[in-house]
Amino acid sequence: MAEIGTDIQYAKTLLEQGEVVAIPTETVYGLAGNALNVSSVTKIFEVKNRPHFDPLIVHVSDIETAQTYVTNIPEPARRLAEQFWPGPLTLLLPRKRIIPDLVTSGMNTVGIRCPNHPLTRQLLHELPFPLAAPSANPFGYVSPTTPQHVNEQLGNKIAYILDGGPCSVGIESTIVGFDDDVTVIYRMGGLSLEQIEAVAGTVLVQAHSSSNPKAPGQLKSHYAPAKKVIIGAIEDLLQQYPAHTSGLLTFQADFNSPFQFILSPSGNLEEAAQNLFTALRAFDKMPIDYILVELLPEAGLGRAINDRLRRAAAIE
């Protein structure tokens, strides 16, 4: 198992040696390595068992640093970064050649984000290079929101997990790109559509699934627990699936089941997002065959939560 601790200097030393380290962010835990070092980036892909066609997000400490890795920051991107960085927003920007092909899967854009977690901000501030970091889970599985989640799945493959406690947002960053004059959301995430529209004006949402995605985070079957996830009205689903082998994932409703998880009894979407991945992981450990799920209101973070639930339910 990996060591879990709050020693930023140790994390820094490992990263400088080209090793990978799990780091906390406000969204989910990341599996970090030196983004400018091909051998470190290769280790990230190996540990996650991630296909090379799936590009990585590069984490920086501020807009000025981001500027050194991209050729241009379009006006709406600058406004979004000024408003929401540090925060759960990834911008797809035209990359400079210093970012290795492996990081971007050969694409001309690089995903850049300034994460909002005090430990990781300090780490980035002290390091002379940016950190490539995908979510710290095996490819295709649910993202980790605690150091324990990381340790359970990757603990035998990495040396150190920087412990920043449970993630405050709990769902991955929103990915935004710029196609000519159009602002495009490629992945719904911890920054809501409404928040982005308030700064960037009208945006196009292309976060739907497809078998040949621009961002593999758009892959239909992704973020998936091991148990079969079925979406619908819980009352109706309980007519079709046996209650004693079904987990129930609800927004607010209490079904008095030993296998239920209520995301937010008070109906708060931020709280629901914080709890989502812990709930999906907990179901995988319960003696059940199915996870019966109801969708949340399609507004604010509800959109990103529903997106993850739909992908968790997708067959392929």
Residues binding Mg ion (CB under 5 A): 135
Q: Is 133 in the site for ligand TXA (CB under 6 A)?
A: yes
Tokens matching residue 254:
């209490």
- Which one of 61, 135, 206, 306 is in contact with ligand TXA (CB under 6 A)? 135
* 76 vs 134, beta carbon nearer ligand TXA: 134
Min dist CB 192 to ligand TXA, Å, is 14
In angstroms, the CA 8 to CA 126 distance is: 9
Q: Of these, 44, 66, 92, 154, which contacts ligand TXA (CB under 6 A)?
A: 92
Taking CB under 6 A as the rule, does residue 110 contact ligand TXA?
A: yes
Task: Give the CA diameter of the chain.
Answer: 58
Touching ligand TXA, residues 30-59 (CB under 6 A): 30, 54-57
Q: Which amino acid is at 283?
A: F
Please state whether beta strands 290-293 and 21-23 pair in parallel, antiparallel, or not at all (unpaired). unpaired
The secondary element (H helix, E strand) that includes residue 281 is helix 269-284
- DSSP state at residue 30: E
In the list ligand TXA, Mg ion, none, the entry touching 107 (Cβ below 5 to 8 angstroms by class) is ligand TXA
Residue 123 in the binding site for ligand TXA (CB under 6 A)? no
Q: Site mask, ligand TXA, residues 190-229, x = CB under 6 A?
A: ------------------------xxxx------------
Residue 168 interacts with ligand TXA (CB under 6 A): yes or no: no
250: contact with ligand TXA by CB under 6 A = no
Sheet harboring 260-262: ordered strands across?
A: 228-231, 290-293, 246-250, 260-262
Q: Is 107 in the site for ligand TXA (CB under 6 A)?
A: yes
Pick between residue 34 and residue 260 the one whose CB is nearest to ligand TXA: 34
Least distance from ligand TXA to the Cβ atom of residue 7, Å: 20
Rounded distance, CA 264 to CA 252, Å? 6
Residues pairing with 33 in the sheet = 132
Q: What is the H or E stretch that residue 131 is in? A: strand 131-132
Instruction: Name 59's bridge partners.
Output: 113, 131
Amino acid letter, residue 90: T
Q: Whose CB is nearest to ligand TXA? A: 217
Residue 172 vs 294, nearer CB to ligand TXA: 172
Q: How far apart are CA 173 and CA 53, in angstroms?
A: 20
CB of 304 to ligand TXA, least distance (A): 11
Identified binder of ligand TXA from the candidate list 21, 150, 172, 277, rule CB under 6 A: 172
Q: How far apart are CA 11 and CA 23, in angstroms?
A: 9
Residues in Cβ contact with 229 at an 8 Å cutoff, skipping those fewer than 6 apart = 290, 291, 293, 309, 312, 313
Contact window for ligand TXA (CB under 6 A) among 149-157, 172-180, 271-279, 297-305? 172-180
Give the distance from CA 82 to its chain's centroid: 21
Are residues 50 and 141 in contact, defined by beta-carbon separation less than 8 angstroms?
no
Q: Is 180 buried (19+), middle (13-18) or exposed (0-12) by CB count in 10 A?
A: exposed
3-state secondary structure of 97: coil
Least separation in angstroms between residue 117's CB and ligand TXA is 10
Which residue, 237 or 305, has its beta carbon nearer to ligand TXA?
Answer: 305
Distance of closest approach, residue 28 Cβ to Mg ion, in angstroms: 8
Determine the interface stretch with ligand TXA among 3-11, 34-42, 107-115, 144-152 (rule: CB under 6 A). 107-115
Judged by the rule CB under 6 A, the positions of this chain that interact with ligand TXA are 25, 27-28, 30, 54-57, 90, 92, 104, 107, 109-111, 113, 115, 133-135, 172-173, 175, 214-217
